Amino acid sequence: MSALATAVADRLGVSQLERCQPPALSDLNLAPPRLTPPPSLASICSTQVYDRAAHTYGKSFSDVVRAVHGQVEHPPDVVAFPTKESEVVAVLDWCSVAGAAAVPYGGGSSVVDGVSCNVGDGWAGAVSIDLGRLNRVLDVDQVSRAARIQAGAMGPGIEDQLRPHGYTLRHFPQSFEFSSLGGWLATRSGGHYATNYTHIDDFVESLRAVTPAGVLESRRLPGSGAGPSPDRLMLGSEGILGIITEAWMRVQDRPTHRSSASVHFATMADGVAAVRAIGQAALFPSNCRLLDPDEAAGSAGVGDGSALLVLGFESADHPMDAWMDRAVELARDHGGTLPEGVRSSSAAGAWRSAFLRAPYGRDALVQLGCIAETFETACTWDRFDALHGEVMTTMEQALKEVCGGGTVTCRFTHVYPDGPAPYFTLLAPSRHRSQLAQWAELKAAASEVVLAHGGTITHHHAVGRDHRRWYELQRPPLFAEVLRAAKARLDPGGMLNPGVLISG
């Protein structure tokens, strides 16, 4: 921690960073719960301070700041831990009778205030419904290569259960360790992989959800043209239409052939042109992350001021040499160089471990009183240059005004034929009492500039409450009406995740 404090102080050019110690459990002072679970549910419900405090926040910057400072705002009155779907139904029934808001909770990794019990007025209390005990892979279909998985299963648990069958879900968001299948589905999670099948949306054969109006289950199919997709309505519904309890998911054989390369570009613009060419060539690299020079220096140890493209191919079926050869050729056509050549081992090891460590580092930076925030979007290629330029200028200016300085860097997380998904990282000095206000100011500046330049308010972080203001500008007004109508049918009392995605 003190090494980090020194390194960050150096990077930000500030004299010192003071660490704020997170509170002990015994320091927390929660209001007494306003709800008492009925005897039939008592064994799966908790009103313990630990459980309530642990389910108060997700993992957004403001969540972590408040948690570190022992501010426990809007804790759930009760945390329910259903062990089977019928108990999810029973908990919702009880919430309905009790006039309580019901907040689905998967891994708790929301960075958009999507899992808190900040549900507004008019409720007798709030129940956090933790799906974590619905954590099993229930069926594996070796012929179709699919698995029926409970929604509360977390990333590592899913992989552990699929591994003996030779399978992987191959969905690795940065939150992998602390996020669940149900959360991925409810938020349209983006996986680690850069192209083609990477969004969780595309792995769904069917899903099952408990709504206050009953259970909704779609037919398990590899593809269908029968009306609008019921699954696509639930995907991205962020817990406001129902609680996803399980899904049949497409799984994959575990990759055995890998090829990766690190390509250097003199400028970010050269790298962008190369990535566009590779993304439009239908080669479908598993990894195609472009890091701007600052990020390449900070995350992957690139010392020569280059932008870095981490390029990877993998397959469970065949060597990927022809694929990589062509991608490298395209990269070279756009000025790329490969100081290390193509390697079959992971040339991207440094970057990968930085990627996995980043969320832990963020929490430490919060304790040091810094602003450490990321925001992400996607836009078509024709708008990227303007969006990128304006975001960098606007945020550098905002950091100067709000924090007296700081850094903003950019990388691509996903690449589509028609555009990239740029991901921006802010790091700035702050003061412990100003972090939240400064963060809110920066968040607003970032969201506005992204939206003004044709980006989406979120490519894979979800909407929650934090993005709702801008989502409302982006979402077609008539589609908002449809969402409200859908909610009115499935959740007539409006008790599911109030304030998320649509206003109350």
| Interface of this chain with a second copy, residues 236 to 265, rule: CB under 8 A | 236-238, 250, 252-253
Least distance in Å: CB of 200 to a second copy? Answer: 9
- Identify which of residues 190 and 293 has a Cβ nearer to a second copy in the complex: 190
Residues 282-301 that bind a second copy (CB under 8 A): 282-284
- Identify which of residues 313 and 439 has a Cβ nearer to a second copy in the complex: 313
Among 95, 151, 234, 261, binds a second copy (CB under 8 A): 234
- Identify which of residues 437 and 482 has a Cβ nearer to a second copy in the complex: 482
Residues 420-459 that bind a second copy (CB under 8 A): 420-421, 454-459
- Identify which of residues 445 and 490 has a Cβ nearer to a second copy in the complex: 490
Residues 52-111 that bind a second copy (CB under 8 A): none
Which among 26-34, 76-84, 345-353, 479-487 is the span making contact with a second copy, rule CB under 8 A? 479-487
- Identify which of residues 275 and 427 has a Cβ nearer to a second copy in the complex: 275
What 3-state class would DSSP assign to 404?
A: coil
Question: What is 325-350 written as a DSSP string?
Answer: HHHHHHHHHTT-B-TT-EESS-TTHH
Among 32, 39, 164, 222, binds a second copy (CB under 8 A): 222
39 binds a second copy (CB under 8 A): no
Least distance in Å: CB of 42 to a second copy? Answer: 30
Name the helix (H) or strand (E) containing 250. strand 243-250
Least distance in Å: CB of 73 to a second copy? Answer: 25
Sign of CA dihedral 367, 356, 442, 9: positive
- Identify which of residues 164 and 477 has a Cβ nearer to a second copy in the complex: 477
- Identify which of residues 258 and 461 has a Cβ nearer to a second copy in the complex: 461
**Count of other CB atoms within 10 angstroms of residue 273:** 19
Least distance in Å: CB of 60 to a second copy? Answer: 16
Name the token pair of 18.
């003071």
Count the alpha carbons within 13 Å of 172 in the hemisphere toward its beta carbon: 13
**Count of other CB atoms within 10 angstroms of residue 341:** 9
Least distance in Å: CB of 177 to a second copy? Answer: 20
Name the token pair of 406.
């700081």
Q: Where are the alpha helices (DSSP H) in 280-405?
A: 293-300, 321-333, 349-367, 381-403
Residues 177-206 that bind a second copy (CB under 8 A): 187-190, 196, 199, 205
Residues 117-146 that bind a second copy (CB under 8 A): 141, 143-146
- Identify which of residues 25 and 215 has a Cβ nearer to a second copy in the complex: 215
Residues 331-370 that bind a second copy (CB under 8 A): none
- Identify which of residues 84 and 232 has a Cβ nearer to a second copy in the complex: 232
Q: What is the x/- site pattern for a second copy, positions 303-332, by CB under 8 A?
A: ------------xxxx--xxx--x---x--
Residues 6+ apart with CB under 8 A from 207: 185, 217, 218, 231, 234, 244, 246, 247, 248
d(C-alpha 432, C-alpha 369), whole Å: 5
Q: Are strands 100-105 and 125-130 parallel, antiparallel or unpaired?
A: parallel
Residues 371-430 that bind a second copy (CB under 8 A): 378-382, 414, 416-421
d(C-alpha 491, C-alpha 498), whole Å: 11
Question: What is 434-482 written as a DSSP string?
Answer: THHHHHHHHHHHHHHHHHHTT--S-SSS--TTTTHHHHHHHS-HHHHHH
Name the token pair of 190.
């983006």
Q: How many residues bind a second copy (CB under 8 A)?
A: 96
Residues 458-477 that bind a second copy (CB under 8 A): 458-463, 467, 471, 474-477
Residues 6+ apart with CB under 8 A from 408: 391, 392, 395, 396, 399, 424, 425, 426
**Count of other CB atoms within 10 angstroms of residue 353:** 13
